[in-house]
Chain A
Amino acid sequence: MKKFLAIVLALCLVVALAVPAYAAGDKTLKIWVPDATKEFTEKQVATFMEAHPEYADYAVTVEAVGEGDAASNMLTDLDAGADIFNFAQDQLARLVAAGALIELSEENAAIVAEENDAGSVAAATMGDLVYAYPLTSDNGYFLYYDKSVVSDPGSLEAIVADCEAAGKGFYMEINSGWYQPAFFFGAGCTLTYDTDDTGAFTACNVDYASDAGVGALKAIVALAKSPAFHNGSSIGNATNAAAIVDGTWDSGAAKDLFGDNYACAKLPTFDLNGEAVQMSGFGGFKLLGVKPQTDEEKLALCDELALFLSSGEVQLARFEEVGWGPSNLSAKADEAVQADEALSALGEQLAFDIPQGQYPGDYWSLATALGDSVIAGDYNDADDAALLEALQSFQDTCISYAK
């Protein structure tokens, strides 16, 4: 009479798993965009559907999924993931490697390449193939500051001195692989990766372990020693900021925080072995990707819709509604865009930045380790040889990610 145990066990298995997987209706299309642009995207989709009655039988839904979540969800379950999704470019290699993106058709790739700035197209390209539609060209960082505290936004040392004197903070997330290169690239170092069509990293071009690298690391160490320094580049988490290195997405919050004293500018210069050099950084991009499709008609719809959502006119409308800076050349030239304070500060800074290419996920964690070591004071008393040694190990590890 053990049977009951076995019976229920088997019964549950059968009932639970004999239920066939419901096939997703082919006539649905799901789009993931960040919360801020959800309503905007819904409106634009409606416009598109009106103009294209041939797709009238498709039901398009827009869900609010942040860029980071979108990428990780696509990696978890491609099947249930969105057909068109918004992501930040640092995820491109991972998504391509996992087969979560379909390359653009030749016609669309040509249109994209022609209408958008070169950096954004490069950011959407793996090897020879374009894998995504550029949406913005504003994923870079610059300086927000409080006019009443910071007198000279042109020099890092002066800003930090002003903040110290006022008992306020200078915020920069130096333990992030995204902000940290502002120093290294500014000093003339490089760190880029080569990739092939499949999303694999084939080579690493890096020269951090050099005199310039040591100089940059010294400048970071000096900054971290200041009592005014706080590690972080998010206005929402900064409690005592007089100056913060941050991006356009925080411009609204920055205005709230600084009120009448709100101001922004390109990044300052920093002291490299006694010489003032301009800080550099990454110019990054937001992209729109399409998931591989099995149906000809649906793929055509996805292609057209993604092209539309990334077109110049929609980019401009997106700028007007939610403030995302366009990558489309004609939208960029628009007066309203040109007049935007934060975007023009970013524009000035971008002249010194390098367009962000592809980096392996491990790079970001490695950079965090370097930054954390600096903040923890591991290098406070280190001589040049010790710093060079640390950078050599950093560089070797970077190279080991490309195989």
Chain B
Amino acid sequence: MARRRKIGNAIVYLILIVMSIVWLFPFIGLVLQSFRGEYGGMVNYLVPKEFSLVNYQFLFSDSSKFIRWYTNTLIIALFVALLQTLIVICVSYALSRMRFKGRKALMNIWLVLGMFPGFLTMICLYYLLKQLGLTEAGAVPGLILISVASSGMGYYVCKGYFDTIPKSLDEAAILDGATRAQILVKMIIPLSKPIIIYTALVAFMAPWCDYIFASYVAFGNENGYNVAVAMTRWVWTNDYQGYFTRFCAGGILVAIPVTILFMCLQKYYVEGVTGGSVKG
């Protein structure tokens, strides 16, 4: 029995090691490319012939607005994380704890709305934002507004989590004279740390990858770009030859805060997503 388990474990270790290599390989590639000193285009070897910091120096130099783009994205991500979490909590609480007319219909409609191909409506959203003056130079608040405005539909996981908190707690609190608002603030929220962190984390990560709609909204104004819009130009258009290593360096810089945050909060992320997905 012990022998069989040992063999089994050895196989598992082997699989895990192979998987780790496969999973880490692209990141190692990215890191190595970002330190490549010679010629900036694509190459077909992994290890640079010359290690150097030139690509990072370029990003922080005056000839690139990378810092501006990075700050833009960071601002968007922080605000979206904060406001979106707030809205998701509100919606989830209302749908999980309160019973009102039209609740089921609302949930069904929201479920269905998410299935309409989103980019078809981008041009429409662009004009709504333009009317508010939130395009071009105002792209940052504009993008925050759009992300936050529709975030109510992403309540599934959070509501699922709230559903697992026994309702008897609420009833007891109501008997003690607590209002609904007090129950949410004093009882549900403290019990829901994992799901709140999960929601905020997911919201924080999304803006880093928005390249299509964000480029609509910035409409050619470099000051309104986020990192994804700016950096995908480096690989997709002919105007930026030899920017591949810079792209990798920028990618690493983008990945760092998200990765660190993710590592630190992983425990909550797991608890949140597990607790929430019980009910979807």
Contacts and interface: CB of A to CB of B under 8 A. Distances in A.
A and B touch in the complex (CB under 8 A): yes
Interface of A: 16-17, 19, 21-22, 32, 34-36, 63-70, 73, 76-77, 80, 82, 234-240, 249-250, 252-253, 256-257
Say what secondary structure dominates the interface of chain A: helix
Given A237-B41, A239-B42, A36 B123 contact: no
A73 B41 contact: no
Interface in B84-128: 123, 126-127
Contacts of A235: 41, 241
Say what secondary structure dominates the interface of chain B: loop
A21 B39 contact: no
A68 B240 CA distance: 13
Complex A-B, nearest 7 residue pairs according to Cβ-Cβ distance, in ascending order: A239-B44, A65-B220, A253-B241, A236-B41, A66-B237, A236-B241, A34-B239
Contacts of B135: 80
B207 to A, nearest CB: 21
A35 B241 contact: no
Interface string B238-276: 111111100000000000000000000000000000000
B233 A237 contact: no
Contacts of A69: 215, 220, 233, 237
Given A32-B220, A73-B220, A80-B219, A236 B243 contact: yes
22 contacts: A16-B132, A19-B133, A21-B131, A32-B220, A35-B239, A69-B220, A70-B220, A76-B216, A77-B127, A77-B130, A80-B135, A235-B41, A236-B41, A236-B240, A236-B241, A236-B242, A236-B244, A237-B42, A239-B43, A250-B241, A252-B241, A256-B39
A265 B279 CA distance: 66
A14 to B, nearest CB: 13
Contacts of A257: 39, 41
Interface string B124-159: 001100111101100000000000000000000000
B246 to A, nearest CB: 11
Among B132, B215, B219, max chain A CB count under 10 A is at B219
A389 to B, nearest CB: 35
A76 B220 contact: no
Contact of B222 (A22, A63, A68, A240): A63
Given A66-B237, A236-B244, A256-B242, A77 B41 contact: no
Nearest to A256: B39
Contacts of B239: 34-36, 66-67, 249
A134 B132 CA distance: 37
Contact of B241 (A21, A239, A240, A249): A249
B243 A76 contact: no
Contacts of B61: none
B164 interface: no
Contacts of A65: 220
B136 A80 contact: yes
Nearest to A239: B44
B43 A68 contact: no
A112 to B, nearest CB: 25
A68 B237 CA distance: 8
A249 B238 contact: yes
A335 B47 CA distance: 43
Contacts of A252: 241-242
B221 interface: yes
Interface string B33-59: 000000111111000000000000000
Nearest to A257: B39
A80 B130 contact: yes
A66 B222 CA distance: 12
A64 B241 CA distance: 15
B126 A77 contact: yes
A219 to B, nearest CB: 26
Among A21, A80, A237, A250, max chain B CB count under 10 A is at A80
Nearest to B43: A239
B61 to A, nearest CB: 15
Among B40, B126, B238, max chain A CB count under 10 A is at B238
